[in-house]
Amino acid sequence: MTIEHIQNELIEEFSFFEDWTQRYEYLIELGKSLPLIDEQYKTENHLIKGCQSQVWLHAEKQGNELVFTADSDAIITKGIVALLIRVFSHQTPENILNADVSFIDKIGLKDHLSPTRANGLVSMIQQMKQYARQELEKKN
């Protein structure tokens, strides 16, 4: 499934909710279903800088695709990283780097996050793209 298709699914899913209380509840549910990062990756090296809460992110290459796992000590943040993993996991590094993440604005997520959480969201996206960049550099 393409990144664009996954983003469109998320936009549609979020449109079913009438208010942000329901959307936050959905984010929390997404976080609960997040495939957890292996404990060996819950280290300083995998910690995302710029996040208010602790977020660990790991990328592993499987075939031509990157597969992400993550965890966080905050339930909303865990839901946010689960959203991003749904979009970027099982995608090629090229597709991750070229991805437009406009779905974040379309579902209104950035408007409903505190400035520090919004910065954390940007940091998560940057880290995922950095993993993709590193994989491309290994290839070349």
Supply the residues annotated as catalytic.
Answer: 51
Q: How far apart are CA 86 and CA 134, in angstroms?
A: 20
> Can you give the chain as a three-state secondary structure string?
CCHHHHHHHHHHHHHCCCCHHHHHHHHHHHHHCCCECCHHHCCHHHECCCCCCCEEEEEEEECCEEEEEEEECCHHHHHHHHHHHHHHCCECHHHHHHCCCCHHHHCCCHHHCCHHHHHHHHHHHHHHHHHHHHHHHHHC
